[in-house]
Amino acid sequence: MIAFEGGKVSGKVSPPPSKSHTHRAIIMSALSGGPCKVSNPLLSFDTRSTMDAVRALGAEVTEHDGYVDLNCPKLHAPDREIDVGNSGTTLRLMTGIASLFPSETVLTGDESIRRRPMGPLLEALENCGVSCSSNDGKPPVRIRGPVSGKAIDILGSMSSQFVSSAIMMSPLTENGMTVNIIGEMVSKPYVDITTHMMGRFGITVQETEGGYRIEHQSYAPIDYRVPADFSSAAFPLVAGALGGTVTVDGMDLADPQGDRRIMEVLRAAGAEVTSHDDRVTCSAGELRGVDVDMSDIPDLFPVVAVLLSTAKGTSRLFGAPHLRFKESDRIALTENMLRTLGADITATDDGCVINGVEHLHGGRVEHDGDHRMFMAAAVASIVADGPVEMEDDGCWNVSYPGFPEQLASLGVNIRTL
């Protein structure tokens, strides 16, 4: 067990590189044939799952201090079952890539992954001639391609990763693909990251009124530097908003990361936010309740709920029913976490309603191995009268290696139980 006991925060930290960019850079490097150099990658459990997955495609992946070399001169169908561990991104992106090959690929993962819905993506691929089987729409999934036809219809309302998966495999199909988005697309900024990075790797993606058109093309090998991750930076920035002043550096303010909106949310809630070059600074202010559309920024949901738990007035987070299909049911888990700590929060179908309280009181939180829940609860200790205790299972390594140490460097008291 580990206990976070709050404290006044002050200082500067360097958030980890973007997990989303690292996953995509590894896969696109392998698809290009290489050689490629991916600098400043996030080396975590999840991204190493993606490295292992592309090794199954024939890629040579070598880790160095601060960069990864990739070379894949003979791309081939996976030569073994791919175990993605706890990485939903690896599972979904690799499902599309596996559909390119005429032999069967099996993708599986841990207990949490085997509860993740894959039905909409599998159905879309089946409609393009791919043979798919699963455990009632959940992993393990079995994929046998190749993709046929010139169009694929993807449900946009459950996961942007389904859309990214289809777009990433499209240029390698015989005739290219038109990707039609069915319904409203959630988390579009993550698809913007995919198309932006594909452009860097030499792929032209045309956005259409109803989706995307990608002609048959080849990925080009390049050297790519991964930017820092705004979804991770949100945790120290919210810490600053709750109890001091925190600067994060290494940020790319021009990158199409949707989670840049954390700066807008912080300002709307009354925190002071400034940015200069690659640095963003957040200082505590008199926080007030706000309404936030979370549809494009679902990863920020737990920490934004913590931000607003002690803001004056009522806040409403809405627009993100897909949060129930993340590593956990993040809506329910966030409600349980904050109620345990003394917040006045009520879950809704697509978010929650929060009535700000003066202080949280601390307590023992069940994070269910969800890295974002763990980190959000740790930040909540800054406005809690008592310690926030949790299982010390290292889950933060999924996206933010060194998180407890960085939080301690800012002034948060941490004790091992």
Where in the sequence numbering do the catalytic residues fall?
Answer: 299
DSSP readout, 78-123? -SS-EE-TT-HHHHHHHHHHHTTSSSEEEEE-STTGGGS--HHHHH
Other beta carbons within 10 angstroms of residue 358's beta carbon come to 9
The strand pair at 104-108 and 82-83 is best described as parallel
Contact 330, 295 (CB under 8 A): no
Q: Can the peptide bond before residue 140 be classed as cis, meaning omega within 30 degrees of 0?
A: yes
CB 151 within 8 A of CB 178: yes
In the sheet that 291-293 helps form, which strands lie side by side, from edge to edge?
A: 291-293, 314-318, 351-355, 344-348
**Are the C-beta atoms of 284 and 245 separated by less than 8 Å?**
yes
Note whether 263 and 297 are within 8 A (CB).
no
Sign of CA dihedral 131, 136, 137, 139: negative
- Gap between the Cα atoms of 181 and 164, Å rounded: 11
Structure tokens at 152: 């694929």
361 to 255, 332, 340, 365: CA distances (angstroms): 38, 20, 9, 12
- Compute the distance between CA of residue 407 and CA of residue 396 in angstroms, rounded to an integer: 12
Q: Nearest-5° angle of CA 342, CA 348, CA 353?
A: 45
Which of 237, 172, 244, 226 is closest to 6 using CA atoms?
244
d(CA 100, CA 31): 11
The structure tokens 């979370």 sit at 294
- The whole-angstrom separation of Cα 109 and Cα 364 is 28
